[in-house]
Amino acid sequence: MSRTTSARAGETRSGWLFVTPVVVILGLFLVAPILMAFWVSLSDWAGRGSPLSGAVTFVGGQNYTDLLGQDSLARSDFATSIRNNFYYVLLVVPLQTVLALGLALLLNQRRLKGLSFFRTSYYFPTVTSSVAIGSVFLFLFAGSGSVNALLKLVGVSGPNWFADPRGLLHLLLGAVGVGNGDEQGPAALTDHGFLSLSWWDWLAGPSVAMITIIALVIWVSAGAYMLMFLAALQNIPAEVFEAAAIDGASTWRRTVSVTIPLLRPTLFTVLTLGLIGTWQVFDQIYVMSKGNPSKTTLTPAYLAYDSSINQGAWGQGTAISFVLFAIILVMTGIQSWILRDRDKPRRRLGRAQRGGAGTGGDVGGYLATAGRQQR
């Protein structure tokens, strides 16, 4: 045997050996659960003993049809959770992106005094636990809490945030005289609907209670995305701006027409991570509202958990998980299609100019958000 082949064999052996622990753990706790869940979602397992025992029978798509097929409480709950989460995503993703970008641009000025202080204050919430932050916001938005005290100072009597199930859109429509600004809308919208919810209910918008959770999430996650934008900003070569400056474009113009287009890859990453994260909102709901008031903060992730663990409807809970998985895939797909790079055939996210030793801006940011949103 020549030296090289033995070295080769050694490398193969070691290679496999080195990856085994990770492969085993990820396989056991990420891949196997998917298979197990798929089986449970097709079975009538009711939470006693093992789902793999002989007493459990195959029921086909029963759990899925209960969820999507016929009018039932399960279906209306699911539709409600999808509606809530949809409005949540609709507000959180753009707002956190804009806030993160704004903060990054502000911090990217020349000779900024106190840069590190500002950067740290915006980033700090990202490293704290969602449970701790949740408790702070529960206090801030309590009926007799800080936010209402602040509103009182300017003469506004604030709502009872966490107890207020009224939808924002309903309130706005009510203000312009559609419906009575509350439960009952015009008959044209209340008599018909989709998936057990009337059109009027679909149009509710996020409830006042959900707004508080939305505010919390934007406040927390903007810091992580800000860091990603900052990293990208610092990778933009200075020459790019010199041309624009010679043209005499104002700062604002330069930001809009030069800087932001160059941030496109990062923007793409931020939006994708935001979308994936926001469709799975769980921690904040568990800590702050448990789906109350009137199910207006119910989200698919929490509903899946609640159906399985609190109501023993395991098949339904896992079915919800799979439908949620499909939603995330589809949404991410649609979004990357909309944002696809039409000018360049290269669809890779912009490679960095400097191959320096780095933990990677996007990866770092990804992890900062991953740390809070997914494992």
Partner 1 sequence: MSQTTSRTTPYGDPQDAGPAATRAAAPPPDEAKRRVGKIVGYVLLTLFALVYLFPFVIQVGTSFKTDPDATNSPLNPIPSAFTTQAYQQLFQQDFGLWFTNSVIVAVVVTAGRVFFDSLAGYALARLRFRGRQAISLGIIATMAVPGVVLLIPKFLIIKQLGIYDTYAGMIVPLLADAAGVFIMKQFFETIPVSLEEAAKLDGAGIFRTFWSVVLPVARPALITITILSFQSSWNELPHFLVSRQSPDLNTLTTGVAGLLTGALGAGNRYPLKLAAAVLMTIPVAVLFFVFQKRIIGGSLEGAVKE
Partner 2 sequence: MSTRTPRPRTLRLALIASTAGALALTACSGGGGFDSGSGGGQTQAAAKGPVTITFMITSNGPADVKLQQDVVSGWEKKTGNKVNVVAASDINQQLTQGFAAGSPPDLFFTDANVFPTYAKAGNLVAYGDQVTAKDDFYPGLVKTFTYDGKFYCAPKDSSNLALVVNTDMWKAAGLTDADVPKTWADLETVAKKLTQGDRKGLVIGDTRDRIGAFMKQAGGWIVNDDQTQMTANSDANLTALKEVQKLLQSGSTAFPKGVDSGWGGEAFGKGRAAMTIEGNWIKGALKSDYPNVKYAAYELPAGPAGKGTLSFTQCYGVASASKNQAAAIDLVNYLETDAPSLQLAKGLGVIPPLKSAEAGYKAEFPDDNGFLAGSSYAQGPVTVAGMDPVLKDFDSQIGSLQTGDPKAMLDRLQKNGEAVLK
Q: Does 292 bind partner 2 (CB under 8 A)?
A: yes
Q: How far is CA 342 from CA 221, 242, 338, 345, in A?
A: 29, 26, 10, 7
User: Pick from 177, 188, 250, 337: which binds partner 1 (CB under 8 A)?
Assistant: 250
Q: Does 143 bind partner 2 (CB under 8 A)?
A: yes
Q: How many CB atoms are closer than 10 A to CB 302?
A: 24
| Smallest separation, CB 179 to partner 1 (Å) | 33
Tokens of 74: 């399960």
259-278 residues near partner 1, rule: CB under 8 A = 259, 265, 269, 276
Q: Does 354 bind partner 1 (CB under 8 A)?
A: yes
Which partner, partner 1, partner 2, none, binds residue 363 by CB below 5 to 8 Å per kind? Answer: partner 1
In the chain, where does DSSP find H-type helix? 3-26, 32-41, 62-68, 73-107, 115-127, 130-140, 146-153, 168-175, 187-190, 199-202, 208-234, 239-246, 251-254, 260-262, 264-278, 283-288, 300-305, 314-338, 361-373
Q: Does 37 bind partner 1 (CB under 8 A)?
A: yes
| Residue 43, beta-bridge partner list | 58
Distance CA 373, CA 299 (A): 15
Contact, 309 vs 57, CB < 8 A?
Answer: no
Question: Residue 97's Cα: distance from chain center in Å?
Answer: 12
Q: Does 172 bind partner 2 (CB under 8 A)?
A: no
Binding mask 75-94 for partner 2 (x = CB under 8 A): --x-----------------
Q: Does 201 bind partner 2 (CB under 8 A)?
A: no
Q: Does 138 bind partner 1 (CB under 8 A)?
A: yes
User: Pick from 248, 338, 343, 346: which binds partner 1 (CB under 8 A)?
Assistant: 248
Q: Is the peptide bond before 261 cis (omega within 30 degrees of 0)?
A: no
| Smallest separation, CB 28 to partner 2 (Å) | 7
Q: Does 145 bind partner 1 (CB under 8 A)?
A: yes
| Smallest separation, CB 339 to partner 1 (Å) | 16
Q: Does 19 bind partner 2 (CB under 8 A)?
A: no
Taking the CA of residue 167 as centre, how many other CA atoms within 13 Å lie in the half-sphere pointing to its CB? 26
Q: Does 88 bind partner 1 (CB under 8 A)?
A: no
Tokens of 83: 């509606």
Please, which residue, 50 or 343, has the CB nearer to partner 1?
A: 50
Please, which residue, 186 or 358, has the CB nearer to partner 1?
A: 358
Residues engaged in binding partner 2 (CB under 8 A): 14, 17-18, 20-21, 24-25, 28, 45-50, 52-56, 72-73, 77, 142-144, 160, 162-163, 165-166, 182-184, 291-295, 308-314
